[in-house]
Amino acid sequence: IGDVQGASLFADGYKGHARMVVDEDRGVIVGMTLVGMAVGEMIHAATIAVAGQVPLHRLWHAVPSYPTMSEIWLRLLETYGL
């Protein structure tokens, strides 16, 4: 998480971790881990994505605010080729 521009709003050298578990057959997130200061701002979005079974290709179009830590969504989705 510390690699996204928005993390610098919280602290210099911000340390954090984000991980997505994806059902690749269905193209949906089935789990998410967020660790670090102020990750609570991202919990609700992750809950909606998991509970709503929102396809990854749709999440790609839900552009996060800049600069915020929610930019991590783009980095996570990029790991799945979006």
Domains of the chain: 5-78 (3.30.390.30)
Question: Which residue in 3, 79, 72 sits closest to 39, CA to CA?
Answer: 72
Using the 8-state DSSP alphabet, how is residue 69 labeled?
G
Q: How far apart are CA 53 and CA 68, in angstroms?
A: 24
| Cβ within 8 Å of residue 19, ≥6 positions away | 32, 33, 76
Name the residue with tokens 């991590």.
72
Q: Could you tell me the pLDDT band of residue 10, with boundaries at 50, 70 and 90?
A: confident
**Each residue's pLDDT tens digit, 30-54:** 999 999 888 888 899 999 999 999 9
Radius of gyration of the chain (CA): 12
pLDDT at position 71: 86
